[in-house]
Amino acid sequence: MTGLERNADVVTMASYAPLFAHAEGWQWTPDLIWFDNLNSYGTPNYYVQKLFSINKGTHVIPVLLNNMPITGQDSCYASATLDKSSNEIILKIVNSSDKMQQRDIVIEGTGDLNIHANQTLLKGEKLDDINSFTEPAKIKPFDGQLTLTGKQLSLTLPPYSLQVIRIKII
């Protein structure tokens, strides 16, 4: 998804299929939303899709490591946008490895930044963790706040995680 966002100038639409699966009548398991006659739950993929859809900006901005886009180096992927309507930078960063990682993000080319950033974290303890009817919220997003030091943000990237960080430009 970070690659889709980084290449938004050529990717005009993206879709996830299949969307729904009934507990007693399904053909495969990558569905986003599972349901039976009384219950439903979203999969971790559902939450990833949701986080990208509600945290989109108006202009793509680069996220670089050694002057190259972050596209899998050390199992990290990243994209960023500027939302002109809310005057926020929206950073999305993924750690697809089984190891905790530390990253220092320096934000350049903007005015002053709010010292506090809003963070949404989606993570699993193990790669094969899933939501289910018995544990419908085993993997779900959690909201928090981060503190910037000037224009620098120090991030801890848990294993198997996606973080969405919104930083207000003041």
Whichever domain contains 157, its CATH number is 2.60.40.1180
Domain hosting 65: range is 2-169
pLDDT of res. 111:
86
C-alpha dihedral over 117, 65, 163, 8, to 10 degrees? 100
Mean pLDDT computed over 11-25: 90
Mean pLDDT computed over 30-42: 95
Question: Residues 98-115: pLDDT tens digits?
Answer: 999 999 999 988 889 999
CA 74 – CA 63 distance, rounded (Å) = 15
Q: How many domains does the chain have?
A: 1
Q: Give the global pTM.
A: 0.93
Contact 69, 80 (CB under 8 A): no
> Does pLDDT of 133 surpass 90?
yes
